[in-house]
Amino acid sequence: MNKLLFCAGVLSGSLAIPASAAMISVDNISGNWSDIVGGQNVSGEGTNEISWGVPSNDAGLQSGYRFDAVETPVTPALDSQFTLGDFTHLNYALNSGGGIQSAVLNLFFDVTIDGQEFSDAQSFSFLHSETQNTGEGCCDDIVTFAALNTSESFVVDGTSYTLDLTGFHLGDSLESQFSTTENGANTADLRGIFTAAQVPEPGTIALLGLGFVGLAASRRRKV
């Protein structure tokens, strides 16, 4: 048992993040929409703004999503929330059945970590709930940040850094859902965070494996 505890301690120590904070800079953020499911008269796929639906409002406006990237460069601290851009839901009354069910936001950016430069693209799914405009259930639509579709880590000096989208920043809270009012543009910050994990060296993994083998052999001898 002592061998197991010792090896687990070694592995835990090897995965600890260095005390010195990494210098992170994010530049050239952009985004476009793809993989749209459902909807009528959908347009704008492959751009930063998509539209859909047959308008039933006096202004003849479609509903849609828009992503406007924040001005760059931004220099987020590790494990701290930062704004990637504005998400806007253009919520206007549509004929029944015209709303989409989901869409994917593809984010593109350059990142520099402790002087090493990377370019990346990550994709995030958004679910859309188009509510009826009169009667029970009227009228706010609901946009839900569903999942990270693709992700890539950046390894610098034995540490792996990952960008995660954390949700909609609304007032003082961070939410996975955004409830949007009818007949207007509803905007929220899209927030992200960089996290880090130490990449274990092959020797550390081998040491842990030997510890488990030794523990199993010890148990067999006791039996």
**pLDDT tens-digit series, residues 118-170:** 999 999 999 999 886 655 545 789 999 987 766 678 999 999 999 998 999 99
Nearest CA to 67 among 86, 81, 82, 92?
A: 86
Q: Rounded to whole angstroms, how far apart are CA atoms 91 and 87?
A: 12
For the chain, what percent of residues have pLDDT higher than 70? 76
Q: What is the pLDDT of residues 169-184, one digit of tens each?
A: 998 899 999 999 989 9
> To the nearest 10°, the Cα dihedral for 111, 115, 117, 122?
-30
Token pair 């610098």: residue: 156
Dihedral of alpha carbons 167, 170, 175, 177, sign: negative
Tally helices (H) and strands (E) across the chain.
Answer: 2, 12
How many Å is the Cα radius of gyration of the chain?
Answer: 24
Q: What residues form DSSP beta bridges with 185? A: 90
- The pTM (predicted TM-score) of the whole model is 0.79
Structure tokens given for 170? 């609304």
Q: Give 10's pLDDT tier (boundaries 50, 70, 90).
A: very low
Structure tokens given for 191? 């927030």
Amino acid at 149: N
